[in-house]
């Protein structure tokens, strides 16, 4: 009996030893496998793919960008305008296609084209429809941290007075503000084109141009009856400028683009936005413009 008990004890000790060895071997294998995986799998630094932005990301870039549209390729025999103020509006994104429009020199044109994001860079090449003689292609980069849109524009028609331009525009909100005033500094000599009837003279403005704000003050005939035609014209157009009207008239464009810091062209039709007071003042100013004396100063101010 003692003999069989001894044999059974030996068998149990051997079984326990085998189990412990198997577990140890298994653990060693797992450790070896983990070490092998860690040491043989290289780290791969992948370049970020070039993709269209997510809609919520693109919304950060939507809005107005305003600044100067500077001529690069110009035909000076055709009397080009080297600088115009332009507003580019980024409106919506569908897939990777950006939709927007530009407002410059009394012309509002839609555009569309691919918007791509590669790392921190946002780029677009967008085309205007092509059914206007001034249509072309905008190529620009958006720098979101600086809120800047910069690039070039190339006209479809290479025989224009200005066939290519460049620009660096700042992101800016627009809202109508009737309190905006014309500058009290009257440094506006020779702003008008030379009048054909008097080729040796140029028209200037007087301090009266900033005397009244026709968006907030109801003008009376006594206020304007002795004013020069140029001052009356600019006072009237200041009403339109406060609403963001883009001027086709080169004289008005020159004044508001270059001399009025707050001016921002955003629309070519603001008739439905004029207040009752503004409409009344516009009618009065137009009547007196027709009969007012032009002011000529050969030497300017």
> What secondary structure does DSSP assign to 205-231, as a single string?
--GGGGS--TTTS---HHHHTTS-HHH
pTM of the model: 0.77
Judge if 185 and 298 occupy the same domain. yes
Judge if 299 and 256 occupy the same domain. yes
Judge if 136 and 238 occupy the same domain. no
Q: Is residue 193 part of a domain?
A: yes
Q: Is residue 41 part of a domain?
A: no
Judge if 182 and 280 occupy the same domain. yes
Choose the final residue of a domain: 155, 171, 187. Answer: 171
CATH number at residue 121: 2.40.160.90
Q: Is residue 16 part of a domain?
A: no
Q: Which residue has the tokens 């009344």?
A: 280
User: Is the distance from CB of 106 to CB of 116 less than 8 angstroms?
Assistant: no
What pLDDT, in 10s, does the model give residues 156-180? Answer: 999 999 999 999 999 999 999 999 9
Give the residues across from 140 on adjacent strands: 124, 151
Choose the final residue of a domain: 123, 145, 171. Answer: 171
Judge if 225 and 259 occupy the same domain. yes
Q: Is residue 67 part of a domain?
A: yes
E-only strand ranges, the chain = 63-74, 83-94, 97-104, 107-118, 121-127, 136-143, 148-155, 162-171
Judge if 192 and 150 occupy the same domain. no
Treating both helix axes as pointing N-terminal to C-terminal, what angle do 229-242 and 250-259 enclose, rounded to 10 degrees? Answer: 70
Judge if 153 and 69 occupy the same domain. yes
Q: In this predicted structure, what is the pLDDT of residue 40?
A: 44
CA–CA separation, 243 and 246 (whole Å): 9
Give the residues across from 69 on adjacent strands: 84, 167
144, burial (CB in 10 Å: exposed 0-12, middle 13-18, buried 19+): middle
The number of distinct structural domains making up the chain is 2
Decide: helix, strand or coil at residue 12.
helix
User: Is the distance from CB of 155 to CB of 134 less than 8 angstroms?
Assistant: yes
Task: Give the domain range for residue 206.
Answer: 176-301
Judge if 143 and 214 occupy the same domain. no
CA–CA separation, 199 and 39 (whole Å): 86
Residues with Cβ within 8 Å of residue 164, at least 6 apart in sequence: 71, 72, 73, 152, 153, 154, 155
CA–CA separation, 66 and 104 (whole Å): 10
User: Is the distance from CB of 204 to CB of 230 less than 8 angstroms?
Assistant: yes
Judge if 215 and 160 occupy the same domain. no
Q: Is residue 212 part of a domain?
A: yes
pLDDT tens, N- to C-terminus, the chain (301 residues): 444 444 444 444 454 444 444 444 344 444 434 443 344 444 545 544 456 666 556 678 899 999 999 999 999 999 899 999 999 999 999 999 999 999 999 999 999 999 998 677 789 999 999 999 999 999 999 988 889 999 999 999 999 999 999 999 999 999 999 999 998 764 454 555 544 445 555 667 888 999 999 999 999 999 999 998 889 999 999 999 999 999 999 889 988 998 899 999 999 999 999 999 999 999 999 999 988 865 544 333 2
Choose the final residue of a domain: 120, 144, 171. Answer: 171
Judge if 156 and 90 occupy the same domain. yes
């Amino acid at each position: 009996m003692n003999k069989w008990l001894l044999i059974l004890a030996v068998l149990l000790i051997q079984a326990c030893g085998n189990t412990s060895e198997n577990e140890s071997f298994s653990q060693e294998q797992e450790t070896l496998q983990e070490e092998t995986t860690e040491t043989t799998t290289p780290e791969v630094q992948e370049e970020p793919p070039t993709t269209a932005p997510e809609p919520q990301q693109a919304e950060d870039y939507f809005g107005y960008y305003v600044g100067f549209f500077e001529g690069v390729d110009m035909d000076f025999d055709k009397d080009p305008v080297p600088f115009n103020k332009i507003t580019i509006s980024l409106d919506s994104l569908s897939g990777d296609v950006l939709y927007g429009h530009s407002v410059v020199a009394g012309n509002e044109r839609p555009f569309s084209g691919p918007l791509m994001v590669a790392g921190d860079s946002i780029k677009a090449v967008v085309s205007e429809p092509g059914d206007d003689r001034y249509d072309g292609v905008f190529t620009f980069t958006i720098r979101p941290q600086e809120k800047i849109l910069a690039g070039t524009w190339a006209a479809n028609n290479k025989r224009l007075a200005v066939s290519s331009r460049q620009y660096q525009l700042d992101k800016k909100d627009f809202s109508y503000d009737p309190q905006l005033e014309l500058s009290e500094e009257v440094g506006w000599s020779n702003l008008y084109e030379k009048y054909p009837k008097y080729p040796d003279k140029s028209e200037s403005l007087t301090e009266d141009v900033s005397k009244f704000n026709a968006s907030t003050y109801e003008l009376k005939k006594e206020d304007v009856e002795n004013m020069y035609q140029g001052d009356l014209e600019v006072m009237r157009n200041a009403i339109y400028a406060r609403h963001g009207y883009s001027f086709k008239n080169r004289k008005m464009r020159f004044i508001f683009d270059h001399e009025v810091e707050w001016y921002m062209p955003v629309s070519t039709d603001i008739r439905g936005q004029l207040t009752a007071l503004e409409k009344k003042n516009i009618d009065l100013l137009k009547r007196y413009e027709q009969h007012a004396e032009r002011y000529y100063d050969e030497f300017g101010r």
